[in-house]
A and B are shown apart, each in its own frame.
Chain A
Amino acid sequence: MTELAQDKMTTLREFMAEVSNKDYAESYLIAVLHKTQELFGYVPRQVMDEASEALQIPTAHIWGVATFYHYFNLEPIGRHTISVCMGTACYVKGATQVLDVLKKELGVEVGKTTEDRLFTLQEARCLGACGIAPVIMIDDKIYGELDAKKTVEIINQYRKAAAESRKV
């Protein structure tokens, strides 16, 4: 397992120690998971193990909660997050095809990260750009009026940029 940044871990441990002294420490589980995701961008297993000890909650319960909410990432996220809009307008204009192309091109399912850690694929509700549906958002940049070809081209731009930045 990758070593988690020590300072972030310390912040989290302090937070867990604080809530574990309260009555019904279990009810702070979601708060701990939120804090974790805020700090690390995802919820690492090592943190769930520590939360289990700190709050005296079996890991299976924590796992049940963490997997129940789509909000929690259970794997480290990639450098870029691709959100595919599945809102009504995009859906009608072929968001499913865009999503399928992305899944195929990246070789991952929704919620997963590519092996090279470059992209994490996610679904989103209406991104407020229905006029140019179907739409995807990469990090905070919107791309619209997509078809299969255009989608692949955009992905390749990011790949190229990443390859370039590795060279220097």
Chain B
Amino acid sequence: MSQMITITINGKDYRVEPNQTVMQAADTLGFKIPRLCYHPKLSIEGACRVCIVEVEGQRNFVASCAFPVSDGMKIKTNTHALRRARRDIVELIIDNHPMDCHTCERDGNCELQRLAASMGIRARHFAGERKRYEEDLSSEAVIRNPEKCILCGRCVRMCSEIQQVHNLTQAHRGFQTVVMPAYDLPMAESVCTACGQCINVCPTAAFVEKNYTQELFEQLNDPERVKVVQFAPSVRAAIGEAFGLPIGQNMEGQLIAALRKLGFDYVFDTQFGADLTIMEEANEFLERLQNKGTLPMITSCSSAWMKCLEQFYPDLIDNVSTCKSPMSMQGAMIKTYFADKMGIDPTKICSAAAMCCTAKKYEAERPELMFDGMRGVDVVVTTREIAWMIKSAGIDFVNIQPEKADHPLGLSSGAGAIFGATGGVMEAAIRTAYELYTGQTLVDIEVEGVRGLKGIKEGSLTMDGQEIRVAVAHGLGNACKLLEVVRQDPQRYHFIEIMGCPGGCVGGGGQPYAAINTIPLDDKALKKRAQALYDLDRGKTIRRSHDNPDVQKLYKEFLQHPLSSVSHKYLHTHYKAKLPKGIIPKEAKKIEVTQ
């Protein structure tokens, strides 16, 4: 540890660590300096100047997020002049902003609103010319509304630094500055992977998901339709936050009950689809291993990763598992196996999905995933949207009596639950692959090495004397480092899990916005959501996908066996290279994996 230094804040002395910014030091001392463009996981932009403080000896106020502490520094955070200057800064932002809060998607969840309220802004003083732009509604998943943009640059840094997609830039300059993809391309034609992480970090409604709540309400009111819904593992681990509950509460039973009250006839669990995915994927892996197929095999359940693959890594398409995602497998089973069993015309089914993910909206549209001329999933709503629907329908989510999912696509193993956390798919696959390969029971089924929030995790296990080396990456930026290793040393791993979002699906682009006093994608919050899923796994008697009796029944009655021709028809697909081609800068691909 380095030598502590003394700083003075508002007249009081404190001992603090050197080599940090004024804001960081203040944070540890109980001062929350207002801020806007700063995010601890992103580079410092110092653009908004909302975080200004007074430092003795400096002629002007300094941006505390970018200014380092030094010994003897005297700082003031709340003088009259500072408060006025800060308020002026926020007022200037607001005067270039539509401020149609009561009809805005972020109403009640908006950092700009909170900031303005904390500044005590009660009137508009500088109202002048305001920028006007068209909304970009081209994408199935991510809507861009530059009118609401306050140019904090968080989305640009998120997309470039954490995701390494580099889809966004601040184009033009001054009053004309607009956040947009290259060449002002519509989002649908850009390299955007639809991950939705720009939505997660945007303080306003300048990035939002394409909203399907009205369409879903309409379908729910259509007496001709059989309404079926599935929900992803991570939705239950996060939806409570949208109702003011503490982070990390598993709301599975309440969610099922609320979905029924919304009018769904059948509520299924995507964790069943996850178990099914493991059956196919583990078998596909063993087949590749035994028949010298392309290795390493890379998982394919993350929709944002699939789009990234097609645009940035077309050379690795053969490495990627042909399995559809759990949502799409489940959707296919809803419209075939389930419809057949119940004697329902599959074209009468409205197959909805509540997902932690924005990219799943894009996935549901993909022609590659269609079968018998049908889509497996007709409408995808995010955790945020389904929470809003529940509120809007007047359902008392917090106090509702928990219920259980329907058969035959509702029962799941613990392995299906942990899909939502980074490393979970790998762990679930290992539980099944090991037993299929060795014929023996894996005793220690909790694979600690692939859990947690380290960017790239490596591990190995031995199956009948054969060493299997695995790796896990979450967030597309970590993935790009790992895939660079694969390109250079294809023998290094046998099996790789990639999740497009930081933390895996628990950190998905459709999860509830950060509540007051929290920040988006906080590691502590991601860990708590993941813990809810690991606890769910522990609480189950069935913890391996192949032990799920309803999955076994599905194979017996319909699919025959994993990788059968029926499975191939409904549960597998192939991806192709896609334009525009994505470019990842050299320095981002520098390999940091330790031996």
- By a beta-carbon cutoff of 8 Å, the part of chain A in contact with chain B is 26, 45, 48-49, 52-53, 56-64, 67-68
Nearest CB on A from B580, distance (A): 7
Q: Given known contacts A57-B585, A58-B584, is B173 in contact with A68 (CB within 8 Å)?
A: yes
Q: What chain B residues lie within 8 Å of A60 (beta carbons)?
A: 160, 166-169, 181-182
Residue among A26, A56, A57, A59 facing the most chain B CB atoms (10 A cut-off)? A59
What 10 new A-B contacts, CB under 8 Å, besides A45-B183, A58-B182, A60-B181? A56-B584, A57-B583, A58-B160, A60-B160, A60-B168, A61-B166, A61-B585, A63-B169, A63-B171, A67-B171
Tell me, yes or no, whether B172 is within 8 Å of chain A by CB: yes
Tell me, yes or no, whether B586 is within 8 Å of chain A by CB: yes
Tell me, yes or no, whether B170 is within 8 Å of chain A by CB: yes
Q: Which residue of chain B is the closest to A58 with respect to CB atoms?
A: B166
Q: Given known contacts A56-B585, A58-B585, is B183 in contact with A63 (CB within 8 Å)?
A: yes
- Can you list 28 A-B pairs, Cβ within 8 angstroms, ordered by A? A26-B585, A45-B183, A48-B182, A53-B581, A53-B583, A56-B584, A56-B586, A57-B583, A57-B585, A58-B160, A58-B166, A58-B182, A58-B191, A58-B585, A59-B182, A59-B583, A60-B160, A60-B166, A60-B168, A60-B181, A61-B169, A61-B585, A63-B171, A63-B180, A63-B182, A63-B183, A67-B171, A68-B173
Tell me, yes or no, whether B582 is within 8 Å of chain A by CB: yes
Which parts of B542-595 form the interface with A (CB within 8 Å)? 580-586
Q: Which of B171, B191, B580, B586 contacts A64 (CB 8 A)?
A: B171
Please state if B585 and A67 are interface contacts (CB–CB under 8 Å). Answer: no
Q: What chain B residues lie within 8 Å of A61 (beta carbons)?
A: 166, 169, 585
> Within the assembled complex, what's the spacing in Å between the Cα atoms of A48 and B182?
10
> Within the assembled complex, what's the spacing in Å between the Cα atoms of A53 and B191?
14
> Within the assembled complex, what's the spacing in Å between the Cα atoms of A60 and B156?
10
Q: What chain A residues lie within 8 Å of B582 (beta carbons)?
A: 58
Please state if A68 and B586 are interface contacts (CB–CB under 8 Å). Answer: no
Q: Which of A52, A63, A64, A67 contacts B583 (CB 8 A)?
A: A52
List of 7 A-B pairs having minimum Cβ-Cβ separation, nearest first: A58-B166, A64-B169, A59-B182, A60-B169, A63-B182, A67-B171, A60-B182
> Within the assembled complex, what's the spacing in Å between the Cα atoms of A57 and B588?
11
Nearest CB on B from A74, distance (A): 9
Please state if A67 and B182 are interface contacts (CB–CB under 8 Å). Answer: no
Which parts of B180-201 form the interface with A (CB within 8 Å)? 180-184, 191
Q: Which residue of chain A is the closest to B580 with respect to CB atoms?
A: A59
Mask: chain B, 335-347; 1 = CB below 8 Å from A; 0 = not: 0000000000000
> Within the assembled complex, what's the spacing in Å between the Cα atoms of A58 and B77?
40
Q: What chain B residues lie within 8 Å of A57 (beta carbons)?
A: 583, 585
Q: Given known contacts A45-B183, A63-B182, A63-B183, is B172 in contact with A58 (CB within 8 Å)?
A: no
Q: Given known contacts A45-B183, A63-B182, A63-B183, is B171 in contact with A58 (CB within 8 Å)?
A: no
Q: What chain A residues lie within 8 Å of B166 (beta carbons)?
A: 58, 60-61
Q: What chain B residues lie within 8 Å of A63 (beta carbons)?
A: 169, 171, 180-184
Contacts across chains A and B counted by CB atoms under 8 Å: 54
Q: Which residue of chain B is the closest to A25 with respect to CB atoms?
A: B586
- By a beta-carbon cutoff of 8 Å, the part of chain B in contact with chain A is 160, 166-173, 180-184, 191, 580-586
Q: Given known contacts A45-B183, A63-B182, A63-B183, is B173 in contact with A58 (CB within 8 Å)?
A: no
Nearest CB on B from A54, distance (A): 10
> Within the assembled complex, what's the spacing in Å between the Cα atoms of A63 and B580?
14
Residue among A45, A56, A57, A60 facing the most chain B CB atoms (10 A cut-off)? A60
Q: What chain A residues lie within 8 Å of B585 (beta carbons)?
A: 26, 56-58, 61
Q: What chain B residues lie within 8 Å of A49 (beta carbons)?
A: 580
> Within the assembled complex, what's the spacing in Å between the Cα atoms of A53 and B585?
10
Q: Which of B172, B181, B586 contacts A67 (CB 8 A)?
A: B172
> Within the assembled complex, what's the spacing in Å between the Cα atoms of A130 and B519?
56
Nearest CB on B from A117, distance (A): 20
Q: What chain A residues lie within 8 Å of B586 (beta carbons)?
A: 56
Nearest CB on A from B526, distance (A): 27
Q: Given known contacts A63-B171, A64-B169, A64-B171, is B183 in contact with A58 (CB within 8 Å)?
A: no
> Within the assembled complex, what's the spacing in Å between the Cα atoms of A94 and B191?
46
> Within the assembled complex, what's the spacing in Å between the Cα atoms of A49 and B172?
19
Please state if B583 and A58 are interface contacts (CB–CB under 8 Å). Answer: yes
> Within the assembled complex, what's the spacing in Å between the Cα atoms of A63 and B173?
12
Q: What chain B residues lie within 8 Å of A26 (beta carbons)?
A: 585
> Within the assembled complex, what's the spacing in Å between the Cα atoms of A56 and B484?
15
Q: What chain B residues lie within 8 Å of A62 (beta carbons)?
A: 182
> Within the assembled complex, what's the spacing in Å between the Cα atoms of A45 and B181?
13
Q: What chain A residues lie within 8 Å of B581 (beta carbons)?
A: 53
Q: Which residue of chain A is the closest to B168 with respect to CB atoms?
A: A60
Q: Which residue of chain B is the closest to A66 with respect to CB atoms?
A: B171
> Within the assembled complex, what's the spacing in Å between the Cα atoms of A162 and B286?
72
> Within the assembled complex, what's the spacing in Å between the Cα atoms of A26 and B588?
13
Q: Which residue of chain B is the closest to A70 with respect to CB atoms?
A: B173
Nearest CB on A from B367, distance (A): 26
Q: What chain A residues lie within 8 Å of B182 (beta carbons)?
A: 48, 58-60, 62-63
Q: What chain A residues lie within 8 Å of B181 (beta carbons)?
A: 60, 63
Q: Given known contacts A26-B585, A59-B583, is B183 in contact with A64 (CB within 8 Å)?
A: no
Q: What chain A residues lie within 8 Å of B584 (beta carbons)?
A: 56, 58
> Within the assembled complex, what's the spacing in Å between the Cα atoms of A49 and B582?
10
> Within the assembled complex, what's the spacing in Å between the Cα atoms of A21 and B182?
25
> Within the assembled complex, what's the spacing in Å between the Cα atoms of A26 and B586?
10
Residue among A45, A62, A64 facing the most chain B CB atoms (10 A cut-off)? A64
Q: Which of A48, A58, A64 contacts B170 (CB 8 A)?
A: A64
Nearest CB on A from B425, distance (A): 29
> Within the assembled complex, what's the spacing in Å between the Cα atoms of A57 and B580?
14
> Within the assembled complex, what's the spacing in Å between the Cα atoms of A57 and B182?
12
> Within the assembled complex, what's the spacing in Å between the Cα atoms of A62 and B583?
12
Q: What chain B residues lie within 8 Å of A48 (beta carbons)?
A: 182-183
> Within the assembled complex, what's the spacing in Å between the Cα atoms of A61 and B183?
10
Nearest CB on B from A10, distance (A): 22
Q: What chain A residues lie within 8 Å of B160 (beta carbons)?
A: 58, 60
Nearest CB on A from B147, distance (A): 19
Nearest CB on B from A59, distance (A): 4
Q: Which residue of chain A is the closest to B181 with respect to CB atoms?
A: A60
> Within the assembled complex, what's the spacing in Å between the Cα atoms of A61 and B182?
8
Q: Which residue of chain A is the closest to B589 with respect to CB atoms?
A: A56
Nearest CB on A from B328, distance (A): 30
Q: Which residue of chain A is the closest to B178 with respect to CB atoms?
A: A67
Residue among B160, B173, B183 facing the most chain A CB atoms (10 A cut-off)? B183
Please state if B583 and A56 are interface contacts (CB–CB under 8 Å). Answer: yes
Please state if B183 and A59 are interface contacts (CB–CB under 8 Å). Answer: yes
> Within the assembled complex, what's the spacing in Å between the Cα atoms of A52 and B171?
17
Q: What chain B residues lie within 8 Å of A68 (beta carbons)?
A: 171-173
Q: Which residue of chain A is the closest to B184 with respect to CB atoms?
A: A63
Nearest CB on A from B43, distance (A): 14
> Within the assembled complex, what's the spacing in Å between the Cα atoms of A61 and B582?
12
> Within the assembled complex, what's the spacing in Å between the Cα atoms of A56 and B582?
10
Nearest CB on A from B131, distance (A): 15
